[in-house]
Amino acid sequence: MRFATWNVLHRVHAENWYEEVAVRWPDEAARIAAVAERVAELDAAVIALQEVSGDQLVALRAVAGERTVHTLRYPRVPRPKRVPTVLRERDEYLVVLAGPESVPVFGAAFGDDPGKGALVVRAGEFTVVATHVTGDRRGSGQLAALADLAEGGPAVLLGDFNADRATVAAGLGPKFAVAELPPERPTRPRTGAGKSQFIDHIVTRGAVAAAVRVLDGGGLSDHNPVCGTVSAG
């Protein structure tokens, strides 16, 4: 089964943190439409998306087709700090798009961060855990919680882990395999030292990931999509 994950960048975060995407795409409605189109084009049966605004969610539902759109709405609502937002709906969501047979299992924000969390969906033979992990010391406890959510049969963890491959592997434990990312294209392009540019991952438990690639996000977000094929076994 093909899986993909992409942090599509909430507009309020882009503006609060001076992301170039907000300058490159001054018309947020146009960016939202382009992101939805790019998601619809992804060659994957299951797609995990992070930092989805309420406006973006409406556009995703419009292109979902036969896919079911599973959502987790965070308790924290992003608050503009620099400029008024153009969004009609500022709520932030974790989203999984999967086949019509997929079933939601669990969803909650992490107890120590109301703007990050996990959404669990059963898709075919796989337990899918979509996540956005906090990028500081809280991440270690969140990784341990994710490992517990993936107990049972074959599992695939997808998301923005805000940490490099080695850190994620150490936090989840030896039962998990974090797919190696090809070095040619970062998942989170950025300049400056001290922060990894490879923080979006496909992780498996009781399964094997192959042909994992980082796709060109076309400058629609500060992240690039990651996709790969996972087989149980």
What is the predicted pLDDT for the residue at 194?
Answer: 80
What is the predicted pLDDT for the residue at 30?
Answer: 98
Domain span at 143: 2-232
pLDDT averages per 10-residue partition of the chain, 233 residues: 98 94 96 98 98 98 97 97 94 98 98 98 97 98 98 95 98 98 96 89 98 97 98 89
Which of 137, 56, 126 is CA-nearest to residue 94? 56
Which of 193, 199, 194 is CA-nearest to residue 224? 199
What is the predicted pLDDT for the residue at 198?
Answer: 98
**Which tokens belong to 127?**
């337990």
What is the predicted pLDDT for the residue at 168?
Answer: 98
- Other CB atoms within 10 Å distance of the CB of residue 174: 7
- What is the CATH classification number for the domain harbouring 57? 3.60.10.10
- Other CB atoms within 10 Å distance of the CB of residue 177: 16
pLDDT digits (tens, 9 = 90+) for 6-35: 999 999 999 999 899 999 999 999 999 999
CA-CA distance, 150 to 176, in Å (whole number)? 9
What is the predicted pLDDT for the residue at 213?
Answer: 98
What is the predicted pLDDT for the residue at 47?
Answer: 98
Residues 6+ apart with CB under 8 A from 85: 11, 12, 15
How many independent structural domains does the chain possess? Answer: 1
- Virtual CA dihedral for 145, 146, 152, 158, nearest 10 degrees? 170
**Which tokens belong to 100?**
């019509």
CA-CA distance, 193 to 6, in Å (whole number)? 23
